[in-house]
């Protein structure tokens, strides 16, 4: 009678982690499992995959992935990696170069005010490494509203530009990022401080909490002139502002939804053709004002119309453009992020100015465009103005100079 001796299976370059059967003292690549993720990461070299069995793994310290490795859980529903109630500045996970993380839930919490980062992309990792189906939660919402802390879901602190091979790369795909915080400080879902680029697809981001302490809650922000974020098929919610392009570039691709339709008053770029409102005045503007008055203010009407000459007997100051305010009502939340003004002939002599101002609920905004001298066009895409549902948008025309020769005025207002 023979006795069969079972041999554990070999897994090659796989480093197993098992919260129940693992042992950090006997763990070995391709053989026996480790008990903790920290020990498995320490034992990894380029080319290894760290395979994490179901369980809740409380890290003894933050982890930094070895370049060229992958960290993979069984399921983001059952493989939980966390650091709870930390008492100091903490970054839960730092990506290495050419790394991949997927099918895990990452959680970082604190009851105090500290700088907290869920995932950091240093070096060029934002264009070489990938985060795949994963939930990232960073939460210190139970901290006092009197304190202040900076809390980031994903921090892009490195460098790296998008090339032809990166546009379909998508650093963050199938990801949910939750940032919950309280008190003062910056609360960000994605925060780009380095001269790097990061892209998303099938991405959900929520930044919320208690703003009683004066904190700002922004979904995506770039603060480096060379920083870049591209969002595709993504939903972004920031309690203060969905996006904020303080410096650098935020680009909104197809399928991207800004829940609050707020951009922090900053500009941005969209690859989806915006909703555009057109205004046109056909003819010479000089025929629409009272010859006794060299300067006037009038309000444009969406669409195009022929300039109507003012009558002198009886006097009619101007008939088109209209001296009475005209409105366009926004039927849903929207961002007005651009104004383009052009004419077939400019104002002419020095001192003559034709200026167009976007108004919100009868109040001027900073979105203006002015033609002077021989200028034939002007554009303003450097700022934005948020519109809530049923807010009123108007376009005000300022016409200066009795010899102003502006002819065939055209205005384009872009809404997202």
- Residue 294 reports pLDDT greater than 60: no
| pLDDT tens column, 11-30 | 789 999 999 999 999 999 99
Q: What pLDDT is recorded for position 290?
A: 55
- Is 9 or 94 the better-scoring residue by pLDDT? 94
> What number is the average pLDDT over the span 172-191?
97
Which secondary-structure segment (H or E) carries 40?
Answer: helix 37-43
Q: What pLDDT is recorded for position 133?
A: 96
- Residue 407 reports pLDDT greater than 90: yes
Angle at 13 between CA 121 and CA 169, to 5 degrees: 35
C-alpha to C-alpha distance for 89 and 1, rounded to whole angstroms: 63
Could you tell me which of 320, 368, 340, 369 has the C-alpha nearest to residue 276?
A: 340
Q: How many angstroms separate the Cα of 318 from the Cα of each of 199, 281, 297, 354?
A: 52, 13, 10, 16
**Residue pair 73/49 in contact by the 8 Å Cβ criterion:** no
Q: What pLDDT is recorded for position 162?
A: 77
CB-CB neighbours of 5 under 10 Å: 5
**Residue pair 126/167 in contact by the 8 Å Cβ criterion:** no
- Is 9 or 76 the better-scoring residue by pLDDT? 76
pLDDT-derived band of residue 308, with 50, 70 and 90 as boundaries? confident
CATH of 275-415, one of 2.60.120, 1.10.1200, 3.10.28, 2.60.40: 2.60.120
> What number is the average pLDDT over the span 322-326?
85
Burial degree of 331 (CB within 10 A; 0-12, 13-18, 19+): exposed
- Residue 271 reports pLDDT greater than 80: yes
- Residue 5 reports pLDDT greater than 70: no
Q: What pLDDT is recorded for position 319?
A: 67
pLDDT-derived band of residue 354, with 50, 70 and 90 as boundaries? very high
Percent of the chain with pLDDT over 90: 81
HEC string for 280-325: EEEEEHHHHCCCCCCCEEEECCEEEEECECCCECCECCCCECECCC
Q: What pLDDT is recorded for position 205?
A: 98
pLDDT-derived band of residue 285, with 50, 70 and 90 as boundaries? confident
pLDDT-derived band of residue 288, with 50, 70 and 90 as boundaries? low
Q: Which of 10-19, 302-311, 404-413 has the highest mean pLDDT?
A: 404-413
pTM of the shown model: 0.90
Which secondary-structure segment (H or E) carries 109?
Answer: strand 104-109
C-alpha to C-alpha distance for 272 and 265, rounded to whole angstroms: 20
**Residue pair 83/140 in contact by the 8 Å Cβ criterion:** no
- Residue 292 reports pLDDT greater than 70: no
Could you tell me which of 241, 345, 227 has the C-alpha nearest to residue 285?
A: 345
Q: Which residue is it, tokens 């480790």?
A: 34
- Residue 164 reports pLDDT greater than 80: no
C-alpha to C-alpha distance for 30 and 12, rounded to whole angstroms: 5
Q: What pLDDT is recorded for position 289?
A: 57
């Amino acid at each position: 009678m023979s006795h069969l001796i079972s041999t554990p299976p070999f897994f090659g370059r796989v480093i197993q982690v098992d919260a129940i059967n693992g042992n950090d003292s006997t763990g070995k690549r391709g053989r026996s499992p480790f008990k903790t993720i920290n020990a498995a990461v320490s034992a990894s070299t380029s080319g290894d995959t760290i395979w994490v069995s179901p369980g809740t793994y409380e890290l003894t310290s933050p982890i930094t992935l070895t370049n060229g490795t992958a960290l993979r859980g069984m399921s983001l529903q059952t493989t939980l990696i966390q650091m709870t109630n930390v008492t100091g500045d903490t970054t839960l996970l730092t990506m290495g170069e050419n790394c991949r993380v997927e099918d895990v839930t990452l959680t970082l919490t604190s009851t105090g005010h500290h700088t907290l980062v869920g995932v950091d992309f240093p070096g060029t990792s934002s264009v070489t490494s990938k985060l795949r189906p994963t939930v990232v939660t960073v939460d210190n919402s139970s901290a006092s509203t009197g304190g202040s802390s900076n809390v980031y879901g994903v921090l892009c602190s490195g460098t790296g530009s998008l090339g032809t091979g990166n546009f379909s790369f998508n650093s963050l795909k199938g990801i949910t990022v939750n940032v919950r915080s309280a008190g003062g400080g910056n609360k960000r879902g994605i925060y780009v401080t380095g001269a790097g680029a990061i892209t998303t697809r099938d991405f959900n981001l929520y930044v919320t909490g208690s703003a009683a302490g004066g904190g700002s809650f922004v979904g995506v922000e770039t603060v480096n002139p060379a920083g870049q974020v591209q969002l595709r098929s993504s939903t972004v919610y920031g309690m203060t502002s969905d996006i904020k392009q303080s410096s650098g570039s935020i680009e909104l691709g197809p399928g991207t939804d800004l829940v609050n339709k707020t951009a922090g008053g900053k500009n941005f770029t969209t690859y989806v053709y915006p909703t555009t409102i057109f205004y046109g005045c056909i003819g010479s503007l000089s025929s629409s004002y009272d010859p006794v008055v060299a300067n006037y203010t009038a309000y444009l009407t969406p669409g195009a119309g022929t300039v109507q000459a003012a009558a002198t007997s009886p006097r009619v100051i101007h008939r088109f453009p209209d001296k009475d305010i005209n409105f366009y009502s926004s039927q849903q939340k929207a961002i007005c992020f651009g104004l383009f003004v052009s004419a077939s002939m400019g104002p002419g002599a020095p001192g003559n100015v034709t200026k167009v101002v976007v108004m919100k609920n009868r109040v001027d905004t900073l979105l203006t465009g002015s033609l002077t001298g021989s200028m034939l066009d002007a554009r303003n895409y450097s700022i934005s103005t948020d519109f809530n549902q049923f807010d009123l948008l108007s376009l005000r025309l300022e016409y200066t100079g009795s010899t102003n020769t502006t002819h065939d005025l055209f205005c384009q207002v872009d809404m997202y």
